[in-house]
């Protein structure tokens, strides 16, 4: 095996799984949240924060062993990390780089800001947002048509209270 360069020393390569690279600095924990990874699943996960990137200044990296993220999960990641590249790893090789695209529909992840919306008043209701525009991002609640923008989405996923 090659001697790793200084850049690679922080976290080693993985054998099988997913590497999410070029995440905007500081968003890695939000990526884990979108993937519903809390640590209690027992997956081996490496989270690298605020390392230098040639392309985007500083970046975060998430490496998840023995889990290949689905198309749907990859699309959710674009909501909060549009610059991310998702690499599927098998037997140490990158076998796929997923093309990220903003999902047309997002169920159950976002919350409608309208307090009168049925999704905020019926415990059985699940929020459904449809993408109206990709750039800049605009999504609309299926039930009450309230619209949210990219900042709303990021704030919600990063878990800011009262937003």
Contact residues for ligand CTP (CB under 6 A)? 13-14, 19, 21, 61, 63, 85, 87, 89, 92, 94
- In this structure, are residues 160 and 113 in contact, taking their beta carbons and an 8 Å threshold? no
Binds 90: which of ligand CTP, Zn ion, none (CB < 5-8 Å by kind): none
| Smallest distance, Zn ion to C-beta of residue 92, A | 46
When the beta carbons of 11 and 128 are compared against ligand CTP, the nearer one is: 11
Least separation, in Å, of the C-beta of 147 and Zn ion? Answer: 10
* Residue 68 interface partner, choices ligand CTP, Zn ion, none, CB cut-off 5-8 Å depending on type: none
Tell me the C-alpha to C-alpha distance, in Å, between residue 65 and each of 18, 102, 120, 128: 7, 25, 36, 31
Q: Cα–Cα distance between 44 and 51 in angstroms, integer? A: 20
Residue 92: contacted member of ligand CTP, Zn ion, none (CB under 5 to 8 Å, by partner type)? ligand CTP
DSSP-based three-state secondary structure for 144: coil
* Nearest CB to Zn ion, comparing residues 87 and 127: 127
| 141 binds, options ligand CTP, Zn ion, none, Cβ within 5 to 8 A by partner type | Zn ion
In whole angstroms, give the CA distance from residue 144 to residue 6: 53
Q: What are phi and psi of 155, to 5 degrees?
A: -60, -45
Nearest in space to 101 (alpha carbons), one of 60, 67, 63, 131: 131
CB of 66 or CB of 104, closer to ligand CTP: 66
Nearer to Zn ion, 28 or 141 (CB): 141
């Amino acid at each position: 095996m090659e001697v790793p360069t200084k850049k690679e020393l922080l976290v080693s390569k993985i054998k099988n799984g997913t590497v999410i690279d070029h995440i905007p600095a500081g968003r890695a924990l939000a990526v884990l949240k979108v993937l519903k990874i809390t640590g209690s699943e027992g997956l081996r996960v490496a989270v690298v924060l605020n390392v230098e990137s040639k392309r985007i200044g500083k970046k975060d990296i998430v490496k998840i062993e023995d889990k290949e993220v689905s198309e749907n999960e990859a699309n959710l990641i674009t909501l909060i990390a549009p610059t991310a590249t998702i690499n599927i790893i098998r037997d140490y090789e990158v076998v796929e780089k997923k093309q990220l695209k903003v999902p047309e529909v997002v169920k159950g992840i976002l919350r409608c800001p309208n307090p009168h919306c049925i999704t905020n008043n019926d415990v059985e209701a699940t929020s459904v947002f449809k993408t109206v525009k990709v750039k800049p991002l605009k999504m609309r609640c299926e039930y009450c048509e309230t619209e949210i923008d990219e900042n709303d989405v990021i704030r919600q996923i990063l878990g800011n209270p009262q937003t």
